[in-house]
Amino acid sequence: MKQIMVTMALCGAVALAACAVSDLRDAPGEPVFENDHARMMHLLGIEQLRPGRNGMDPTHPNYANYDEATSNPYPDLPPLLELEDGTPVTSAQMWRAERRPELIELFDREIYGRVPADVPGVRWEVVAEREGWAGDVPVVIQDLVGHVDNSTWPFISVDIEMTLTRPAAAPGPVPAVLSFVFRPPPGWEPPEGWSPPPGPTPTELVLARGWAHAELVPTSVQADNGAGLREGIVGLANKGEPRAPEDWGALRAWAWGASRVLDHFEEMETVDASRVGVEGLSRYGKAVLVTMAYEPRFAMGFSGSSGEGGASLYRRDNGEILENIAGSGEYHWMAGNFIKYAADPLGWDDLPIDAHSLIALSAPRPLFVGTGLAEEGDGWVDPRGIFMATAEASTVYELLGAKGLPIEDMPEPGTGLTAGELAFRQHLGGHTNGPNWPVFLDFAERYFEAGQGD
């Protein structure tokens, strides 16, 4: 803190913002680190991390494991329906009042980090509005910016970007799906030969149901890298300081952004904030699970190919592993504290929770967990690990009076287990939500339209 203030005083007014984030020292006399990841390791007293798996080169000695026979070194998962002191959780009331808060505390401390109590507020502004079409549905499209109040630290601005497409004509407030979207940086050119996937876009599919589709740009909330942790909402809430080990990472920051969109919907007359689902793929599939866990106002989730750090079990050795997430390219998704599990003597089995615990935090709300096929390029996410974690979470759904997965063995690819509140489907394609979208929307319709118009 002191060091940063000194640096800023020397900077002068012109380049204050840049200066405010340029120094990685915690205090005078502290070493200057190569990057924030190295600094976090130092803070945790870690000298070396075990390496992550190589996902690209099958000849690499540390190439990812895809052999099911050796994928389960730790088959026993931490119990869901047992308090930390060993007391069995036998009622919905006990889950809500005791076990759920315990799990939230563990995820805060060990995995995703804590949101500070005083994160500044957001003021939404419609910056553009136009009429158009989503397929053959007439729509109104709004570009919105959520300005975060930065009066306590004006050196960092956070302007959340979101586009909302809603039916031009609707009899009343409509349900909505909020997607975390990848938005290419300005000037980005698609690689040669790239073309958008065939068929209707998610927006067209959602609008065809008569609902609204919001697309949130997570990187406008928090950058997708470690260097950005002193900027974005994490940096602003920390007044430009680097993170402490239990501070929030990007996944919780993105989830926080989704909650702010919901705040805006609560103010709107055209969207029904009590019927909003949240969707995302891959790192944003992880963000969906985190959002659902921490934000009870989201009615439903659709998490696709979320993999390590999302729905696949940390205790599995298949595809991506914990050490990849703890490495310098991905650790920023999590609390700094998480990386200690990639350093001896701690290992995967020391985590007091796992992916099934995360999924259980959505219960009893409808949650659709998707994945693609390993043979089509989705092996890195460990589809079977995703299924196993989802199946395990079923006990919590059942305790809360909802339906979990009906079977314990992984179904044939392309078979949706969508009859209950907790749904699973491995589609026949690769690392995409595309083929699961229509199945998810049928699932969602069951809940969103139930009792409507009676």
Return residues touching ligand GCU (CB under 6 A).
Answer: 282-283, 307-309, 320, 324, 380
Residue among 146 and 370 whose Cβ is closer to ligand GCU:
370
Q: Which is nearer to ligand GCU, 232 or 307 (CB)?
A: 307
Task: Supply the minimum distance, in Å, between the C-beta of residue 376 and ligand GCU.
Answer: 15
**Which residue, 299 or 355, is less far from ligand GCU as judged by CB?**
355
| Smallest distance from ligand GCU to CB 212, Å | 25
Min dist CB 307 to ligand GCU, Å, is 5
- Closer by beta carbon to ligand GCU, 202 or else 309: 309
CB of 334 to ligand GCU, least distance (A): 11
Give the nearest distance from C-beta 327 to ligand GCU in angstroms: 9
Q: Which is nearer to ligand GCU, 309 or 416 (CB)?
A: 309
Shortest Cβ 434–ligand GCU spacing (Å): 15
b/e 321-355 (16+ beta carbons within 10 angstroms → b): bbbbbbbbebbbbbbbbbbbbbbeeebbeebebbb
Which C-beta is closer to ligand GCU: that of 177 or that of 281? 281
Of 110 and 382, CB closest to ligand GCU: 382
Residue 202 CB, nearest approach to ligand GCU (Å): 17
Residue 224 CB, nearest approach to ligand GCU (Å): 9
Three-state SS sequence of the chain: CHHHHHHHHHHCCCCHHHHHCCCCCCCCCCCCCCCHHHHHHHHCCCCCCCCCCECCCCCCCCECCCCHHHCCCCCCCCCCCECCCCCECCCHHHHHHHHHHHHHHHHHHHHHCECCCCCCCEEEEEEEEEEEEECCEEEEEEEEEEEECCCCCCCCCCEEEEEEEEECCCCCCEEEEEEECCCCCCCCCCCCCCCCCCCCCHHHHHHHCCCEEEEEEHHHCCCCCHHHHHCHHHHHHCCCCCCCCCECCHHHHHHHHHHHHHHHHHHCCCEEEEEEEEEEECHHHHHHHHHHHHCCCCCEEEEECCCECCCECCCCCCCCCHHHHHCCCCHHHCCHHHHHHHCCCCCHHHCCCCHHHHHHCCCCCCEEEEECCHHHCCHHHCHHHHHHHHHHHHHHHHHCCCCCCCCCCCCCCCCCECCCCEEEEECCCCCCCHHHHHHHHHHHHHHHCCCCCC
CB-nearer residue toward ligand GCU: 311 or 367: 311
320 or 398: CB nearest ligand GCU: 320
Q: How far is the CB of 55 from ligand GCU (least distance, A)?
A: 7
